[in-house]
Amino acid sequence: MTTTEAHPSDPARPDDHGAARTRLLADPGLGGAARRTALARLTDGWLAGLYRDAGAPAGTALVAVGGYGRGELSPRSDLDVLLLHEGPIDPRLPERIWYPVWDSGAALDHSVRTLDEARTVAAEDLKAQLGLLDARHIAGDAALTAGLRSALLADWRAGAAGRLPELQQLCAERAERHGELSFLLEPDLKEARGGLRDVVALKAIAATWLADAPRDGLEAAAARLADVRDALHLTTGRATERLSLQDQDQVAARLGVLDADTLLRQVYEAARTITYATDVTWRAVDRVLAARSGRGRRLSRIAFPFSGVGRGAGAVAKGAVDRRPLAEGVVEQDGEAVLAQGARPAQDPVLPLRAAAAAAQAGLTVAYTTVRRLAAETRPLPVPWPDEAREQLITLLGAGEACLPVWEALEAEGLITRLLPDWERVRCRPQRNAVHRWTVDRHLIETAVKAAAMTRRVARPDLLLVAALLHDIGKGWPGDHSEAGEVIVRDVAVRMGFDKEDTDTLALLVRHHLTLVDTATRRDPDDPATVDAVTKVVGTLPHLELLHALTEADATATGPAAWSSWRASLVGNLVARAAARLAGGVSHPPAGDPTAEEERLAVEAARTGGPALSLHAHAEQDTTGTEPMGVELTLAIPDRPGLLGTVAGVLALHRLTVRSAGLRELDPVGAGPVLLLSWTVAAEYGELPEAARLRADLRRALDGSLDVSRKLAERDAAAPRRRGIATPPPVVSVAQGASSSATILEVRAHDAPGLLHRIGRALDAAGVRVRTAHVSTLGADAVDAFYVTDSEGLPLAPQQAAEVARSVQAALG
């Protein structure tokens, strides 16, 4: 049976079609998807008339494919058409249909095939197969078109395991050629990553029934890009996909958008929605294909992980799940961070940051359904933030490159602007400067990524990372962005819970983040006034170190043109001169007089010859319902060699993370020195150990019945290997002349279980005594200072100090 479908009012003659098309495109009341649909229907009627006029016999059908098949016909889109036939046809038949189309000036992509030929072409050419998946009947034998659609969909699903990796590679190559739409000043709306081609790929993946894309906002994002493309076609009169700078104002005006910057922001927002959906979908595809091939854990069933059902990745049956703890309330499952079964987001406002930090530090991302649940159930953080929230943000930023996909996941669900309301003004904001590679918000997070590699250069890596994240936050406001940023960062820092001194430091860094480059490139480096100007701004050597690292991170995150070897040398020389002017000793806060509790424990330890300890909740309890950052562990033990490493090892065995620590000597009863260790510790996950159990293990470790190092090694060997992130190597240095009574070793390293244990063992093996210590964990970084002496209680000779530093560095690997 042969049927011909056409809208009754659609003209068939080319001149009538051209006039109708012109009227349609000029209709001010018709736009967006409605215009694209109307244009497709008008074209359907025209082509159906040409098909009839050509005398097409039974057993043939005219089929729209590709974008035309989807009914998404932009003003200058190509017409992708297939003449499908069962048996032999008149060779002149196709030309009788195609020539009037060519004569009209329309761009035509045509083919003539049987069903078997179409299936063969699809099997050999992935791009052709994608176009045929959108086959839509125009005229002729509708059953023939239906048979084509059924056969091609069946082939696509049957061959999905082989075709999807090919499609993924095709998308990756296209992204490499055309870049990321979200950051380009002249983006290709179709081919760039996050563009309309990716929407087609997502629909093709969904057609396999193996995975489906997150639907929220995806349709609107695709429609927005299509609207911009339509306006671009009408503005230029050409079938172009590139939104060139010279066309942006006209396109914005045609769409009723305020200006070109607003237009780009809308394009970027749409592209990010598509990019995030693409990333989530391909991860789901990878999991399914890995399970099918045996490369991953086999799945007992396949589910759609974006249906909103469940709490984790949602792709496996209960009982088949392999979950490994990452942090309190967070576990790893199927290569993603998901919530533990006992997690309660509604009662734990820090959970989004804790999950994000744990995922980034493990080199994972946060599962889509997990981020959705966190966004839906977690209440806002109190102001000021609990200490843990600030530490988790710093830990997230300190993960470097691994932070990016996690940050994007949080941003996609609105969690970043919930944490940092000022972020909204810089989100997706374009930078019309050829030097800049990124939008303002992406530049900020890229600067933090660069800064994460420089944390060993500064004494306060936490301030460096936060300053990097916020240094251009003022670009969302009128006037000088550095001045506006200083005002904003003071408010943000207070909300984050930084004290006044740290807030002042952050404000200084943001206000003067361009000062070193501007001074080094515009002032005479040999003029003493140049150095004076810098030292007057920074005030202290630690501030100078922070500003230098921020300057380099900012420039390298901007783009290749912003940081050359010439600029680096100019800034480096200026910093060296300023540092010489500011040089001074390293200072650490002096330990106050021992409290009554500390004296009591010291007396008990001296009299019993064993450890005495107390375990109390942290003095700064927060009243928001969240857990405090840690508990105060005070420990007194008669001095003996290797004590620091032993105690730290026992804490590591109990999975206690040392947030801060102090060590000093007391002699409460004149019977010999007692080491007093004041620690702030937190459980890595789970509950804190009982004080009695901790004391018992300390005694066993001290009398030799518990081999701490062996137990830690056995636990590490038994633990499943988890991929982690690459971190800057540890730095161990000697602070020359910083103390007249001891040698100060400074250790800056990535925090990890057993870190302090390894340091203590290395110092013990070197034959030195630790007189006092100041240990701090800032995010994921440990910044420690150890005051050591030789066996006679004297500072180390320079050569010995250097050897001790090398041995500690070697122990940290």
Measure CA 5 to chain center: 50
For the chain, give the mean pLDDT.
89
The dihedral through the CA atoms of 649, 655, 661, 663 has a sign that is negative
| Strand runs labelled E in 151-230 | none
DSSP string, 524-556: -TTSHHHHHHHHHHH-SHHHHHHHHHHHHHHHH
For residue 159, give the nearest of 130, 135, 136, 134 by alpha carbon. Answer: 130
Q: Alpha-carbon distance 802 to 813, whole Å?
A: 17
Token pair 């000029």 is at which residue?
26
Cβ atoms of 198 and 189 within 8 Å: the answer is: no
Contact present, 800 and 681 (Cβ < 8 Å): no
Which residue is it, tokens 């000093």?
664
Tokens of 195: 């563009």
Dihedral, CA of residue 456, residue 635, residue 592 and residue 619, to nearest 10: 80
With b meaning 16 or more CB within 10 Å and e meaning fewer, what string describes 58-96? ebbbbbbbbbbbbbbbbbbbbbbbbbbbeeebeeebbee
CA-to-CA distance for 587 and 280, rounded, in angstroms? 48
**Beta strand pairing status for 108-113 and 79-85?**
parallel
- Quote the CA–CA distance of 714 and 518 in Å, as a whole number: 54
Amino acid occupying residue 533:
A
DSSP state of 690: P
Residues 6 or more apart in contact with residue 116 via CB below 8 angstroms: none
Cα–Cα dist 162/122, whole Å: 13
Residue 425's pLDDT is what?
95
Give residue 719's pLDDT.
65
CB of 653 within 8 A of CB of 708? Answer: yes
Q: Which residues of the chain have pLDDT under 50?
A: 1-10, 297-320, 619-627
User: Residue 677 in 3-state DSSP?
Assistant: strand
Number of helices (H) and strands (E) in the chain: give both, helices first: 32, 17
Please tell me the distance from the alpha carbon of residue 648 to that of residue 755, in angstroms, as a whole number: 8
Q: What integer pLDDT is reported at residue 666 of this predicted model?
A: 81
Query: Torsion angle, CA of 29/34/36/39, rounded to 10 degrees?
Result: -70
Q: Report which of 133, 170, 128, 168 is spatially closest to residue 148, judged by C-alpha positions.
A: 133
Q: What SS3 state is found at 293?
A: helix
Token output for 253:
């005006």
Q: Give residue 738's pLDDT.
A: 67
Cα dihedral angle (381, 383, 388, 394), rounded to 10 degrees? 90
Residue 326 is encoded by which pair of tokens? 């990452």
From the CA atom positions of the chain, what is the Rg in Å?
A: 33
Helices (H), 54-81: 66-69
Q: Which two tokens stand for residue 193?
A: 């990553």
Question: 403-412 and 387-397 helices cross at what angle (nearest 10)?
Answer: 120
Structure-block tokens of residue 596 = 């009554």
Residue 42, SS3 per DSSP:
helix
Do 783 and 461 contact (CB within 8 A), yes or no?
yes
Which of 78, 33, 86, 77 has the alpha carbon at shortest distance from 59?
86
- Contacts from 192-196 at CB under 8 Å and sequence distance 24+? 192/271, 193/271, 193/275, 193/278, 194/270, 194/271, 194/272, 194/274, 194/275, 194/278, 195/225, 195/241, 195/271, 195/274, 196/222, 196/225, 196/226, 196/229
For 342, other C-beta atoms within 10 Å of its C-beta total 7
Pairing of strands 60-64, 79-85: antiparallel
Closest CA to 80 of 131, 130, 137, 41: 131
Single pTM value for the model = 0.88
Element (H, E) at 435: none
**Contacts (Cβ under 8 Å, ≥6 apart) of 733:** 745, 746, 805
Under 8 Å between Cβ of 496 and 385: yes
User: For 23, how many CA atoms within 13 A lie in the half-sphere containing its CB?
Assistant: 9
779 CB-side CA count, 13 A: 28
* CA separation for the pair 135, 65 (Å, rounded): 4
Pairing label, strands 365-366, 336-339? parallel
* Contacts for 691 with CB less than 8 Å, ≥ 6 apart: 613, 614, 615
**Distance between CA atoms of 346 and 552, rounded to whole angstroms?**
40
167: left (phi over 0), alpha (psi -120 to 50) or beta: alpha
Q: Are 18 and 104 in contact (CB under 8 A)?
A: yes
Q: What pairing do the DSSP bridges indicate for beta strands 769-778 and 731-735?
A: unpaired
Rounded-to-5 percentages of helix, strand, coil across the chain: 55, 15, 35
752 Rama sector, left if φ>0, alpha if ψ -120 to 50, beta otherwise: beta
CA 122 – CA 653 distance, rounded (Å): 59
DSSP letter assigned to residue 407: H
Q: For residue 673, what is the DSSP state?
A: -
- Residue 778 backbone dihedrals phi, psi, to 5 degrees: -115, 100
CB 364 within 8 A of CB 331: no
End-to-end distance of the chain based on CA atoms, in angstroms? 78
Residue entry with tokens 């340091």: 759
Q: Calculate ∠ Cα 100-103-105, nearest 5°.
A: 120
Type of residue found at 77: S
Amino acid residing at 514: L
Pairwise CA distance, residues 639 & 641, whole Å: 7
The string over 452-472, giving b where at least 16 C-beta atoms fall within 10 Å of a residue's C-beta and e elsewhere, is: bbbbbbbbbbbbbbbbbbbbb
pLDDT of 725 reads 84
Under 8 Å between Cβ of 43 and 73: yes
Cβ-defined contacts of 594-602 (< 8 Å, 24+): 594/666, 594/676, 597/634, 598/634, 598/636, 598/666, 598/676, 598/678, 599/666, 599/668, 601/634, 601/635, 601/636, 601/676, 602/636, 602/666, 602/668, 602/674, 602/676
